[in-house]
Amino acid sequence: MSQLLNRRLALLSERANLTLLEQCLHGIERECLRVTADARLAQTPHPEELGSALTNDQITTDYSESLLEFITPALPDPAQTLASLDKIHRFAYSKLGNEFLWSPSMPCPLPAEEDIPIAYYGTSNIGQLKYVYRKGLALRYGKTMQCIAGIHYNFSLPEKLWQLQQQSEGSEQSARDYQSARYIALIRNFRRYSWLLMYLFGASPALSAGFLRGRAHKLDTLSDDTLYLPYATSLRMSDLGYQSNAQAGLTPCYNDLASYTDSLREAVATPYAPYVEIGTHKDGEWVQLNTNILQIENEYYSNIRPKRVTYTGERPIQALMARGIQYIEVRCLDINPFLPMGIDLPESRFLDAFLLYCALNDSPLFANNECGNATSNFLSVVKEGRRPGLQLQRDGQPVDYEGALIKRAAPSDKDYQLLKAGQSLTVQAEVSGLYDMSAQGQYSIRYLLPTVAQEGKAAKAKQAQASESNAVTLWVDGVSDERVLAKAAVAEPQAVSASVSFSGRCTNTQKSDILAALDAASGIANNSSSYLAVDKPNGQRYRSWFGAYDATRWNQAETHFSKIKDAIDNKPLTFDCGCKQSYFAYVYPDQPYKVYLCKSFWTAPVTGTDSRAGTIVHELSHFNVVAGTDDLGYGQTNARNLASTDPVKALNNADNHEYFAENTPSEN
């Protein structure tokens, strides 16, 4: 954790301050559509039994007349907040008659656009104002968008907490300005890290086919009436949700409250040509409040908002400017369709912890393209957040893998474990010995199971699909890499010649076998280098293992084998015989030129497919100073498939180098 976060937490953990965090307030606004028994949109008016949508402070409507909104009071215990929401749910259900509440965020199958009712609030001035505002939203975004539902989570920290921290940090700002600045800092951190909420709680990867109203899209078909994206978390929060070209250039700055309110005031006062063309009236009736980018400030659809309770007749932006930020409203949460209320206590507790982290941690101003990067990260997760990939990142940057790269045989049935629908697998993995985690920062870890080629030999392999684990995020203060020191502490190798040595208690027979394999490896490496010394655009041997001819990739392959040949002929190689595992061999790519030989190496032929000579070529290609290859696919079938489908990856796969060098069956 950062030093600033530690100091702030230490202050709050003092005996006199322990109760401050218990005074945080939590409120929930939950939206949901009224539907008929056959899961169609209810087109009936707002039930009178639920009270007036204009004046009831717990049950109202949102954009559509069919879109209910349940509002809890702000309470110190999230369990109490959820109990209040439960009570509102139960009351509403008792008054709905034959209608039901639609659980997911994305709407049920909808009627024609013109048949979706707009929320109506009566004939009073304020009621008509709210109605015309929603008519404007329908004009600008379409009535279909007014049927999307979500959860808004309101959160505040007690003013005494802000006062305590202001005093501790010696800020000379007014109490109002300090509190607002700290809430704005919370919002900046929220924008940095809110992709995590989409990954954990996104629950709208699919939508009704009719939702798009014939618009072009890149969604996949799940069924006749359902479209989806296979790796999406929240289509609701994607560009398919409540978005607008008019707002595309509107990105309020969160460096301070004044710049935020200024940007919204400007948007409310700036005409937008397409809206100007429509005008405010049609056939003598109001169709929108004005022709500006935003009709009112709340039209700006953000993932999080700074808020202040308003007085009668006061606009939200006026309240913020006059009295500062009082709480924040998180607006990006999908409804969990598997929960009765769409949210539960564990999610609420997590949100509290997440928002406290955002509030108490250091939050530097957005620099350079950081604001745009935060938006990009968020949008990437909502559309591709579940895309397979083993990823270890520190502060948004990939961390170098420094663990063993292992040559294994092509997978067989015994290498697979069948997971039926609903099953999961839990695995403990020690990553500190595999990755450089010596630098301080925020780390994110997940495990990748890649797609197995359809041509795989194993029956189960043919059915294997790409998948990935959940992500684990943690903060590391920075420690010395003891793993490197431990590796360096192994017994000194036993030198046999100037260029070759052995460790791990190699027997005389093993030493002899290694030298024979090394001689054969030198031969196939020389042959490979000679082949690549002359361009052969139609050379089948190259195409089999590295794909279609490309001059740049050909030259890269030539460089790889030149370095492999040099390593065999000129570098101080060490072979370790102590490995008792079933695979062929392994190396640490950052520790040239030591190769650990395992059981399958000793039973392999000297030359041919998956040979001892080929294994040496395979392992030497892994070293960062040689070719820096990875293990992206094992076996000839997977290597050939990689060459034909992704030549760039083939050039980064060690087995492709081995099979090119072994050249069995022989190709020109």
Question: Catalytic residue positions?
Answer: 619
Residue 50: which of 30, 75, 70, 74 has the closest Cα?
Answer: 70
- Quick one: which H or E segment has residue 384? helix 370-384
Is it true that the peptide bond before 401 is cis, omega within 30 degrees of 0? no
3-state secondary structure of 317: helix
Alpha carbon distance 75, 26 (integer Å): 5
Residue 88 structure tokens: 């509102």
Residue 213 structure tokens: 């109203």
Residue 178: which of 256, 268, 291, 287 has the closest Cα?
Answer: 256
Q: Is the separation of the CB atoms in 444 and 468 below 8 Å?
A: no
Q: Is the separation of the CB atoms in 653 and 630 below 8 Å?
A: yes
Residue 579 structure tokens: 């490995």
Q: Where are the alpha helices (DSSP H) in 252-310?
A: 257-269, 273-278
- Quick one: which H or E segment has residue 500? strand 500-503
DSSP 177-228: HHHHHHHHHHHHHHHHHTHHHHHHH--BSEEEGGGGTT----PEEEETTEEE
- Amino acid identity of residue 452, one-letter, is V
CA atoms within 13 A on the CB side of 405: 31
Alpha carbon distance 212, 469 (integer Å): 31
* Beta-carbon contacts of residue 219 (< 8 Å; ≥ 6 apart): 207, 212, 227, 228, 229
Q: CB count, 10 Å around CB of 515?
A: 15
Alpha carbon distance 567, 92 (integer Å): 75
Alpha carbon distance 319, 307 (integer Å): 8
Q: Can you state the percent helix, strand and coil of the chain, rounding each to 5?
A: 40, 15, 45
The rounded Cα 609 to chain-centroid distance in angstroms is: 40
Residue 375: which of 272, 201, 476, 247 has the closest Cα?
Answer: 247
Alpha carbon distance 531, 529 (integer Å): 5
Alpha carbon distance 266, 281 (integer Å): 23
Q: CB count, 10 Å around CB of 78?
A: 23
Residue 333 structure tokens: 């949460």
Residue 251 structure tokens: 């990105």
CA angle centred on 495, ends 489 and 500, rounded to 5°: 105
Q: Where are the alpha helices (DSSP H) in 125-173?
A: 125-141, 159-169
Alpha carbon distance 334, 342 (integer Å): 8
Distances in Å between the Cα of 650 and the Cα atoms of 451, 562, 579, 634, 639 are: 15, 18, 28, 11, 7
